[in-house]
Amino acid sequence: MINTFKTYADRAQQHPNACARDLLMLMERKKSNLSIAVDVTSKAELLSIANQAGPYICLLKTHIDIVDDFDADLVDQLETLAKQHDFMIFEDRKFADIGNTVKRQYGNGVYKIASWAHITNAHTVPGEGIIDGLKEVGLPLGRGLILLSEMSTKGALTKGDYTVESVAMARRHQDFVFGFIAQHQMNETPDEDFLVLTPGVGLDVKGDGMGQQYHTPHDAIVSRGCDVIIVGRGIYGHPDQIQTQAQRYRDAGWDAYLERCKL
C-alpha cells in the first residue's frame, strides 16, 4: 500500500486538491478520522445527533433527501454546527446521470447541495461526463468530489475493470476529484494520494440482513489502507449513547491510524 505510512498532516502539505487539504488538516487538528452517517428522517433528530457527535467527527455524512421536514433552516443550522464543532459536510448524493442533468441536481432544486456540502459523490456508470458536469458547478465553489469505485454491499458490481476505470477517471480530474468511496486504498504510484472514505464499518455486528458488510476500524485503516471510516447505525442506532459511541469509534479509528503510521 502506497503512502499509507504518511501522516495526515504531511499529506495535507503536499496534496494537489484544496478540499482534500482542508479535510486532512482538519483530521490532524481534531485527531479524528471518523465520519458519522446520519441516516435519520427528522430535522430535529439530525441536528441533535450532529450536535452530540460533532466534537468527535471530521465529517458529517448526510442523505438530505430522507429528511421529512427538510427546510433551508436545517442547512443553516448544520453549517453553524459545522463551524462550532469543526467538521465538514459530505452529502452522499451518489449522482448517476449525464453531466447536463447532474449539474442541475447538484446546484439547483430543493436541496441546492453545492451551496452547503463541502463534498459529494458520484457513480462512474455514465462515464466521465458526470465529472465534467459536477465540476462546472462545484469547482468554482471550492467543493470536492469523490467517486464510488467499490461499494460495501454483498454482490456489488463495482469491481474489476469498473474499479480500475473509475480510478483512471479520477486521475484525469485531480483538481476536483480527490478520492473514493471504496473498501481498499487505490493509489498506484508514490505521487498519487487519493483519499479513501470507507463505509461498512462496525464493531459489534457483521451485517444488516440487507447486504451491508461490516469491517472493524482497524481492518479498514490498517489492513485496507482506508483514510476515513464512515459509521452509521453503530452510532446513531444507539440514540441514548451518541457521544459514547462516537467517542468509541473515534478512538478506534485514531488508534488504528497511529498504528499504521507507527506513531
The residues that are catalytic are 92, 94, 97
The answer to the question of residue 181 lying near ligand 5IU (CB under 6 A) is: yes
The answer to the question of residue 212 lying near ligand 5IU (CB under 6 A) is: yes
The answer to the question of residue 167 lying near ligand 5IU (CB under 6 A) is: no
Distance CA 256, CA 4 (A): 12
Minimum distance of ligand 5IU from residue 240's CB (angstroms): 17
Please name the residues in contact with 154: beta carbons below 8 A apart, sequence gap of 6 or more.
207, 211, 212, 213
**Which range binds ligand 5IU by CB under 6 A, 6-14, 52-60, 216-224, 232-240?**
232-240
Q: What element of type H or E holds 12?
A: helix 8-14
Phi and psi of 173, rounded to 5°? -135, 45
Q: What element of type H or E holds 178?
A: strand 177-181
Q: Which is nearer to ligand 5IU, 86 or 208 (CB)?
A: 208
The answer to the question of residue 179 lying near ligand 5IU (CB under 6 A) is: no
SS3 135: helix
Letter string b/e over residues 44-54, b meaning 16 or more CB atoms within 10 A of that residue's CB: eebbebbbbbb
Binder to ligand 5IU among 10, 39, 97, 136 (CB under 6 A)? 39
Distance CA 96, CA 49 (A): 29
The answer to the question of residue 184 lying near ligand 5IU (CB under 6 A) is: no
The answer to the question of residue 199 lying near ligand 5IU (CB under 6 A) is: yes
Burial (CB count <10 Å: 0-12, 13-18, 19+), residue 55: middle
Please count the residues of this chain forming the interface with ligand 5IU, following the rule CB under 6 A: 17
Q: Which is nearer to ligand 5IU, 137 or 220 (CB)?
A: 220
Q: Which is nearer to ligand 5IU, 43 or 63 (CB)?
A: 63
The answer to the question of residue 225 lying near ligand 5IU (CB under 6 A) is: no
The answer to the question of residue 148 lying near ligand 5IU (CB under 6 A) is: yes
**Which range binds ligand 5IU by CB under 6 A, 104-112, 149-157, 163-171, 219-227?**
149-157
Q: Which is nearer to ligand 5IU, 6 or 238 (CB)?
A: 238
**Which of 20, 39, 7, 85 lies closest to 231, judged by CA?**
39
SS3 188: coil
- Distance between start and end Cα atoms, the chain: 18
Q: Which is nearer to ligand 5IU, 12 or 50 (CB)?
A: 50
Return residues touching ligand 5IU (CB under 6 A): 37, 39, 63, 92, 148, 151-153, 181, 199-200, 212, 230-234
Annotated binding residues for substrate, as ranges?
Answer: 39, 61, 152, 212, 232-233
